[in-house]
Structure 1
């Protein structure tokens, strides 16, 4: 539901390891690296003043603007030093069970492809720009990284208990498309907004969009759209509220 699919293979490693693939960084074309640079430059300019400060701290610390699609080995060397997380390449959406098992082991799945020039403004399926640019800067923050690892454990247990819908909704309304108050303003938190040129500003400024105060109870009861821009966003009181929601048992 969240990340990427691949043909599962037998693997002696963790239960999710069969869903990983080689990033194939050397096969990316010059045009694909240029696409990353275009996306990175314009999204970084757009998000100035619109996104939580921790995002830009992580962006700078990980060197995601060094030029071209990041090679995961080099990216992981920086991320591991900061918070103990690492990224693995996958080829498409993986099952929720595997996704949350990855999070529980401080592993984040990253698509091994990037969108085309015709898809710059919006892409339904998450690519490496969404996964790396949208998600990974927040994983460079210790409090968020620790909360995400704990939430992975919660997700594994919730799915086993038949509550996968609850954990999916809480993830969606925080990590993917959440908004949060910071220094008196509503700012972007979610990676789906951080990586979307078409939806980032719209999420904050479009008066036709409904914005409700975030609570964990409200989040797990609120459906979402995965195939279109969101008609509703939940706004957390602050980052502490988000971290607390990800580290506590599901409502």
Structure 2
């Protein structure tokens, strides 16, 4: 069995088996010009500015000029459909970094490696000749005093080379058990799941693992960037 393993520490960006990717993206939203300045909103942040103004008065000429610039950057993104309706709120974090899904409950993708096989509950699956498994280890931490579970509809997906891949059937079964089992107070739990992808898919830019779930009726996405 061939295996390559890559482990990331919490809060750091780790080198994966990729050329690299930009987790913040390069898209930008519409610009709106007002009498007080210009506000531009796009993926990954908001930038605002105020135009310069000049005032001249009386025989004694007095000129004053004021320029104000401010900038705020955030990792949060909002996805909308063609009608302008919000479809999901998303956040992109580094491989190994924890993100909060509920009070005292955080999650992270802590390990990823390629393998030609995946084992679960005594059964071993073999990848096709032109495919490989990406084995992803997912960790949940509960810093509260009582047991908590991930949202019932929590699901993982892999995005690589412009395509989306779901978990294998065996991995889906393992993931379902993991989500329903819960995490004890002041404890943590992890599960390794598999995605079967073409062998060349993971050499592309922009590989991400995405957790999707619903919170108070709103769709949420957390993306781990495999840089």
Q: TM-score, normalised by structure 2?
A: 0.29
Q: Looking at secondary structure, tell me which structure has more helix per residue.
A: 1
Q: TM-score, normalised by structure 1?
A: 0.27
Larger-Rg structure: 2
